[in-house]
Amino acid sequence: MDDFYAARSGLIPPLPWSTFSPPFSDPASSDPSREAIFFQRLEVLSGFDAARQLWESPQMQAANISGGRWGGVQGSDPGSGSQAWSMLTHMNGRPMPKGGSGMVSTSLGRFIEAHQGTVLTNMPVVALMIEDGRCTGVECADGSRFRGRKGVVSTIHVKHLMQMAPSDLWGQAFTDSVEVWQPEMAMFAFHFALKGSPEYPLAGGGSVTGAEASIMERPESIFKLNEDNARGELTLEDYPLQIVHAAGYDRSRAPDGFSLLKIEGGMPYALKEGPEHWDAIKDEVADQVLDRYLRYTPNLTRENVLARVIMSPIDIERMNPAMWRGSVHHLDKRWGNFAPYRMPIPGLYQTGACTAPGGSVTGQPGRNAAIAILEDDGKTLAEVVGRG
């Protein structure tokens, strides 16, 4: 249980929950640079306060805080200071799989099948098979059972996994630790198929486009999210929006003359009327968010929208129960309170966003879990994949 709260030494260390680190020397070194000390001190502030130190222009403050929220935490919160320079990261660009993020899973599935593995989908696991105190397999909703020769590896959300075996097997310390897990601000994702593609006018004339954009008018708007989350209310005027229109670059996604638009961001999951109230209001919320977005793209109107798929925070959880309460990173990953790769029940391993260093598409939890699993099987990663 030495890996209970953090990654084991020798594994990839957890990233800071905000992945935007400044490109300066290590402040822990014996002779840190002036810049390193300055940025280290900025990091412990909120993104809002740090942005006001760095930028005179409210537009640059808002742009960085808005883009900083993509990592799941709002820049109103202490410790989110590095969001104040999130645009530095975004200027480097972000890798996107051709065909969309789903192609990562599809390709991994093909790799498994090409190596005599089997991938079964639409098979919800409802129980862990326990024999002599050891996890030996899983039982699915249709009653089918699958036995693991050496063990079982889970990416089921740990809050759900713990319902799948007797409570006394998890141990009190682990149970207490998971009890206090908090969801992060829930996510919404509104998808639109468009005739034409978005263009943003430039102040000096002409226009610009891009694979992603971030919108928030006023830096102080970031404070609305926590207040609304506490109240279960929505204030739609100026929430930070993440705009994705990768079809402009990846022409495999839409025919010529057409494009795709995704507007996403954080909104409260638990509305004061209950999370199911999202079903009643999501189309109207999406209309308002779309209208707000269209103010920035005068070449488009609602007439350009051919079809849409509107996913509210509760829809995201319904799509994938591991996105507990709409947390696409499975939980608020700031506090380093992750599940261990070796779970308290022998033979059961956990990977994915509930383990260090948390959610996002990094591959790091998988790699770390593989190291632990191989170690228990008397092997090393280097032996199996040819490098460490």
Ligand X SMILES: Cc1cc2nc3c(=O)[nH]c(=O)nc-3n(C[C@H](O)[C@H](O)[C@H](O)COP(=O)(O)OP(=O)(O)OC[C@H]3O[C@@H](n4cnc5c(N)ncnc54)[C@H](O)[C@@H]3O)c2cc1C
Cis peptide before 357 (omega within 30 of 0): yes
Q: Which is nearer to ligand X, 290 or 323 (CB)?
A: 323
Query: Pattern 8-47, binding to ligand X, x per CB under 6 A?
Result: ----------------------------------------
Our finding on whether 246 is near ligand X (CB under 6 A) is no
Of the candidate residues 252, 321, 363, 380, the single one contacting ligand X (CB under 6 A): 321
DSSP 162-210: GGGS-GGGS-HHHHHHHHT----S-EEEEEEEEES---EE-TTSSEE--
Our finding on whether 359 is near ligand X (CB under 6 A) is yes
Taking Cα atoms as reference points, which of 337, 339, 341 lies closest to residue 381? Answer: 341
Q: What token pair was written down for 62?
A: 């808002």
Our finding on whether 310 is near ligand X (CB under 6 A) is no
Q: Which is nearer to ligand X, 15 or 88 (CB)?
A: 15
Our finding on whether 155 is near ligand X (CB under 6 A) is yes
Our finding on whether 353 is near ligand X (CB under 6 A) is yes
Give the shortest CB-327-to-ligand X separation in angstroms.
Answer: 9
Please identify, among the stretches 29-37, 201-209, 266-274, 314-322, the one whose residues bind ligand X according to the rule CB under 6 A. Answer: 314-322
Q: Which is nearer to ligand X, 45 or 178 (CB)?
A: 178
Question: Among residue numbers 252 through 271, which ones bind ligand X (CB under 6 A)?
Answer: 264
Q: Which is nearer to ligand X, 46 or 327 (CB)?
A: 327
Our finding on whether 187 is near ligand X (CB under 6 A) is yes
Computed from CA positions of residues 42, 47, 50, 54, in that sequence, does the dihedral angle turn out positive or negative? positive
Please identify, among the stretches 107-115, 144-152, 154-162, 374-382, the one whose residues bind ligand X according to the rule CB under 6 A. Answer: 154-162
**Spatial separation of the C-alpha atoms in residues 139 and 146, rounded to whole Å:** 6
Our finding on whether 189 is near ligand X (CB under 6 A) is yes
Using alpha carbons only, give the angle 340, 344, 346 rounded to the nearest 5 degrees. Answer: 110
Cβ atoms of 352 and 158 within 8 Å: the answer is no
Cβ atoms of 188 and 209 within 8 Å: the answer is no
**Spatial separation of the C-alpha atoms in residues 38 and 16, rounded to whole Å:** 18
Q: Considering CB under 6 A, how many residues would be counted as binding ligand X?
A: 20
Q: Which is nearer to ligand X, 187 or 194 (CB)?
A: 187
Give the shortest CB-184-to-ligand X separation in angstroms.
Answer: 10
Q: Is 158 helix (H, G, I), strand (E, B) or coil?
A: helix
Of the candidate residues 15, 125, 193, 374, the single one contacting ligand X (CB under 6 A): 125
- Closest residue to ligand X, judged by C-beta, is 352
Please identify, among the stretches 7-15, 38-46, 54-62, 321-329, the one whose residues bind ligand X according to the rule CB under 6 A. Answer: 321-329
Our finding on whether 325 is near ligand X (CB under 6 A) is no
Our finding on whether 280 is near ligand X (CB under 6 A) is no
Our finding on whether 87 is near ligand X (CB under 6 A) is no
Q: Which is nearer to ligand X, 39 or 326 (CB)?
A: 326
Of the candidate residues 11, 51, 84, 322, the single one contacting ligand X (CB under 6 A): 322
For residue 53, give Cα distances in angstroms to 88, 237, 240, 388.
16, 26, 20, 41
Q: What token pair was written down for 328?
A: 């696409």
Q: Which is nearer to ligand X, 59 or 105 (CB)?
A: 105
Our finding on whether 103 is near ligand X (CB under 6 A) is no
Residue 5, amino acid: Y
The DSSP H or E segment spanning 41 is: helix 34-43
Radius of gyration of the chain (CA): 22
Taking Cα atoms as reference points, which of 187, 221, 190, 194 lies closest to residue 209? Answer: 194
Of the candidate residues 50, 156, 158, 345, the single one contacting ligand X (CB under 6 A): 156
Cis peptide before 365 (omega within 30 of 0): no
Taking Cα atoms as reference points, which of 294, 282, 319 lies closest to residue 215? Answer: 294
Our finding on whether 361 is near ligand X (CB under 6 A) is yes
List of residues 6+ apart from 267 with CB closer than 8 A: 185, 186, 187, 188, 225, 228, 234, 239, 285, 312, 313
Our finding on whether 300 is near ligand X (CB under 6 A) is no
Our finding on whether 316 is near ligand X (CB under 6 A) is yes
* CA–centroid distance for 32 within its chain: 32
Contact residues: ligand X, CB under 6 A = 124-125, 155-156, 160, 187, 189, 264, 316, 320-323, 328-329, 352-353, 359-361
